Structure 1
Amino acid sequence: MLLIDRLELGFGPGLNVLTGETGAGKSILLDCLGFVLGWRGRADLVRQGATQGEVTAVFDLPPNHPSRAVLADAGIEVEDDQLILRRINGGDGRKTGFVNDRRVSGEVLRRLSETLVELHGQHDDRGLLNPRGHRALLDAYGGVDLSAIRKAWSTRKEAGRLLEEALAAQAAAREEEEFLRHAVKELEDLAPEAGEEATLDSSRRNMQAAERIREDVQRALALLGAEGAESAMVEASRWLEGAADKAEGRLDAPISALSRALIELGEAYQGVEDALSGMDFDPYALEAVEERLFALRALARKHSVLADDLAGLAAQLRDRLDRLDAGDQRIAELRQSAAAADAEYDRLATELTERRRRAAADLDKAVSAELAPLKMERAVFTTGISPGEAGPEGRDIVAFTVATNPGAPAGALDKIASGGELSRFLLALKVCLAKGNDALVLIFDEIDRGVGGATADAVGRRLKRLAEDAQVLVVTHSPQVAAQGANHFRVSKSVHDGMTTSTVTPLERDDRIDEIARMLSGDRITQAASDAAISLLEG
């Protein structure tokens, strides 16, 4: 990666300091870290002559670390509480990221980075200088619980939605009220029933068929009865029986068959008579059936539904009409609910504003206490709270402002403070805000630039105190800051075979003395510089 051939670097707990001459490659190390975290930075980090560059970062995660939620959303499991980020920059400019050897997008890396690392420097726009995050920082400092107002906001939105829907429904219903009343009356007068059309149609067809064949069936019945076939067969049977005694048995079989035929004829007569009886109907009944059937079908066509669906349609239209009639009462109830939800939200938002004002006063006091040792005792830090648009986290706009001198106008941190002042403001603010937060790795890139002496010593001591609650990495040119480190790394540059490379060396005590002495006196390390270095380390 540019000046780096191969490098493995393990930071320890507490304050880690990186020192080295200008141009040695300290910024390249931060660029590499930003690259593996998915940050947008230098477009090409591949060293000349190499086919690709690769950066790997390993994080040990405590059980409740916020990055676990991001990993769960991405479907990535963490084994042994270790998170391994790896990103490759190809010679063609393509970038490929991995989390625990699973390929991920740059967006996933950036979301993880927000829970893992926080970078602060003179051009920091991701953290303390971004006004959009000031309210969340103040709430975290003041221990503000937002669950109640978030619930009240949700209730308020739901109540408003229901009221709007009811008003819109009532307005639409009013436009069709005349139609609804006419349609409901028409349907209720007809009182259609499910399956009624099929029943009426069957009855109509049966009556129509009976009307056509009744005369023929009546003729057939007459021919079968006492005036027809039955009379002739009875007469024939009587004559045959009279002759049977003299026929010497030759008529027995015909007489028996004729007897059976009379029985069958009787059954046929009864069946035809029953059928004819079933064909009896009132001619007016056919007219009534047809009239109702046609009325059902006409109403179904009018409403573009099936005749069997008319009963359901009647119920729907009646329900709409009932809701219209009861709409005023319903809307009154919804207005009351919405007003109650508004009042509860307003109450909680007002209380939240007061809690934020108290927290802001405490934060301003705490930051002022930190600024004095940093030789900025005349500066005024203020947490401004102004009304804003209502939302799930209240209706306050929170902004950190500063005036570098009493009576001077206050403004945004990065607009008012100079480079050195800004660095010290950020440090003082971060010391106050980061207490108890060990979830993030904090990186300060030359935040001590432009200060020296007692002020630099105060910066170093605050960084050390900050590192009691979080792992802190500091790139520094200040010997006073370097002396406060729990772990010290020297970045150096060398040339071999025409190729310039950077290396990072962990320093033990003697090497630290030499490095801090170099930072004090330059390339020629004097005994006085070494003694001063020892004094700083024993500080």
Structure 2
Amino acid sequence: MLLAIRIENFALIDRLELEFGAGLNVLTGETGAGKSILLEAIDAALGGKLNSRAMRTGADRAVVEATFALNEAVMQWLQEQEIDLLDESVVVCSREMVMGQGTFRSRSRVNGILVNRQGMDRLRESLVEITAQGQTVQLGQPALQREWLDLYGGREVLEQRGRVAAAYEDAQRALQALEHRRSSEQHRLQRIDLLEYQVGELQTASLTTPDELEQLEQESQRLAHSVELQQNSYQIYQTLYQSDAGENAVADLLGKAESLLNDMLEYDAELQPILELVAEALAQVEEASRQINAYGDRLETDPSRLEDVETRIQDLKQICRKYGPTLADAIAYSQKIQTELAELTGSEQTLEALEQAHEQATTHLMQVCAQLTDLRATAASQLQARLVEELRPLAMDKVQFKVGILPASPTGSGADRIAFLFSPNPGEPLQPLASTASGGEMSRFLLALKACFSQVDPASTLVFDEIDAGVSGRVAGAIALKLHQLGLGHQVLCVTHQPIVAAMAEHHFRVSKEVIAHLEQISNGQHSQLRTVVRVTPLEGRQRQEELAQLTGGESAQSAIAFVESLLVQAAELRQKNTL
């Protein structure tokens, strides 16, 4: 329930604080007095769409703050959002609007914590439902009629519609895959031909290791210079270990030095480290001599092997130019195209497989759509009976109403086209609601529809903006009774021009415009300017009687007051009858 609202610099409102009560609350006033501004402020506090025109002219900051009584759904939302309570009985929703440097910004908060648009949309479902002017026009829209039918069907219908939406997405994905495959079949076949050629060429190349080319180039150098390498290795062996020319080799000289050091060691022990170094050098020279000798023995002059190596090098360089630039890149590319070729030629990617997948997805979609149609038919039967019952007290006791469910192409919302069919007079055929009902009948239909949803509506506050437009007399009295009846289970806020509706309210507010002198600060002092503001006054007693007299079209004369007094007595009797 909406307990209070505080507004600063919103539209024509400079400052306003207002408290609401349980049951039926009505707002009355002259046309254009600003009654709808209050409803727009409530919508703004709950995250409704705004632009810079929502701010009072000349203001750079505006605030709307609405305080609601807590309910179970709101408590659960607060826990999910990890928002602490400010008070154990209320939740505060606020909207701050700022205009700076030509840019309009607004922020929504709940209990002082910033909340995004999606979060506010979820919260408002548990707080307020606003039926605005012009919504009767939307009654004729098939999409909205389908939405209302599904909401009336409750959780079972909504869950089945969720399954339909998922099945529709699956069917669309399968169709897109199939159409893509069909449209790209020529390209696919061309790609397969190219990949098969490239895979064959790379497999023929027998690529093994990324460094094969470097190894082959080293082997090529060795084979091309094998004679020179043999000669040099023999010369090194002669120098290090054994000289055919009779000259002392390195090993001979080191051996002589080792012998002399051994003799000297008898007289000076400090030479021991030097002896060890020489001995180690002699051992290394002897080992190097053995290895260079073995190296020279292994070297072969093999022209045929050299030719094979050079040919392989050229083949690998050609592969690198086409698939490289390096051999490692060529090997990686070979693995990649083999995988791609397998995917393009695999059985799971065939047209037949995709056609079968699409057929299965479509069949499943039609099955879940048929189940949804059956659930909608059950809900439609219940809604028809309930709505007719709600319309009878609204001076429409002869009305006929039917929810037509016609087949349509499957979408994410099912395979049904919903049509509300209506006949207000006996003997007249059922026709689409929008082309049959008058403005007054549409208003009553919408009110009856809201009454049908009142038992399942999670919102604790229902807001109606001139739901009684286009009606008068007995019909207005029936609407007043229905609004009061709704107020027994919900808080109801209603903008009205009907005296009987206003008389039925537990709480009555008058909305008016007032022209005031506004002081503005200018460079050389203060300047007085006339400004229009909206004022809201709670009415009781004589003030309320005078306002009702104004609504009847008369002046505040004794005769008008007498009529209003009888109207209030009548309203009290109707309220008492409603509560029995």
Output the TM-score relative to the length of structure 2.
0.71
| Paired amino acid for 1:134 | Q
State yes or no: 1:504 paired with 2:514.
no
Q: Do the aligned residues in 2 keep the contact of 1:122 with 1:423 (CA within 8 Å)?
A: no
> What is aligned with 1:524?
557
Give how far 1:433 is off: 3.0
2:359 to 335, 339, 360: 339
Shift of 1:367: 2.1
Match of 2:144 among 130, 133, 138: 133
Match of 1:410 in 2: 431
The question of whether the paired residues in 1 share the 8 Å contact of 2:229 and 2:296 is answered with: no
Cα deviations across residues 25-54 of structure 1 (Å, max 9, x unaligned)?
A: 43443455456564569947737x988765
Confirm whether residue 191 of structure 1 aligns to residue 212 of structure 2. no
Could you tell me how far apart the structure 1 residues matched to 2:473 and 2:117 are? 42
Q: Equivalences for 1:390-539 in 2 at 5 Å?
A: 390-405=410-425, 406-407=427-428, 410-413=431-434, 416-439=436-459, 441-491=461-511, 503-508=535-540, 516=548, 519=551, 522-525=555-558, 526-527=561-562, 529-539=564-574
8 Å Cα contact 2:52-2:104 kept in structure 1:
no
After superposition, give the CA deviation of every residue in 1:465-513 in whole Å (9 maximum; x if it has no partner). 3234433211223233223323332345667789876543334577656
Matched length = 507
RMSD of aligned alpha carbons? 4.6
What does residue 57 of structure 1 align with? 66
For residues 268 and 122 of structure 1, what CA distance do their matches in structure 2 show?
104
Contact 2:136 2:446 in 1 (8 A): no
Residues 44 and 89, structure 1, Cα contact 8 Å, conserved in 2:
no
Separation of aligned partners in 1, 2:459 and 2:123:
12
**Other-structure match for 1:352:** 372
CA drift at 1:88: 4.7
TM-score, normalisation: structure 1: 0.76
Is the 8 Å Cα contact of residues 124 and 459 (structure 2) preserved in structure 1? no
Residue type of the alignment partner of 1:460 = A
Contact 1:518 1:524 in 2 (8 A): no
Q: Which among 222, 232, 240 is matched to residue 206 of structure 1?
A: 222
Q: Match for 1:180 among 187, 190, 195?
A: 195
**Amino acid in the other structure paired with 2:504:** Q
Equivalent of residue 166 in structure 2, options 113, 134, 151: 151
Q: 1:151 corresponds to which letter in structure 2?
A: A
Match runs of 1:318-337 below 5 Å: 318-327=338-347, 330-337=350-357
Shift of 1:537: 1.3
Question: Aligned with 2:462: secondary structure?
Answer: strand
Q: Select the structure that is richer in strand.
A: 2
Question: Which ranges of structure 2 fall in alignment gaps of 5 or more residues?
Answer: 1-9, 250-278, 518-529, 575-580
Look up the SS of the partner of 1:64 in the other structure: helix
Aligned ranges for residues 378-393 of structure 1 at < 5 Å? Answer: 378-393=398-413
- Equivalent position of 1:275 in the other structure: 295
Q: 1:18 to 1:42 in 2, by over 3 A?
A: farther
> Does structure 1 retain, via aligned residues, the 8 Å contact 2:73–2:126?
no
- Paired residue secondary structure (1:376): coil
- Deviation at residue 529 of structure 1 after TM alignment: 4.1
Contact persistence 1:34–1:41 (CA under 8 A): no
Distance 1:95 1:378, change over 3 A: farther
Cα pair 2:423 2:429 within 8 Å, conserved? yes
**Deviations 1:232-284, CA, capped at 9 Å, x for gaps:** 99xxxxxxxxxxxxxxxxxxxxxxxxxx9x99998887555323113224332
Cα distance per residue 1:135-176 (max 9 Å; x no partner): 222111012122322332233334445545666776534213
Q: Deviation per CA, 1:362-402, whole angstroms, max 9, x where unpaired?
A: 32332222222222344444434344443322133334454
Report the identity percentage: 32
Q: What is the CA–CA distance in structure 1 between the aligned matches of 2:378 and 2:148, rounded to whole Å?
A: 14
Q: Give 1:16 shift.
A: 1.2
Alpha-carbon separation, structure 2, partners of 1:515 and 1:264: 121
Q: Which runs of 5 or more residues in structure 1 are unaligned?
A: 234-259
Residue by residue, what CA displacement relative to the aligned partner does 1:410-444 show, whole Å, maximum 9, x if unpaired? 3453x543332222121112212343213263222
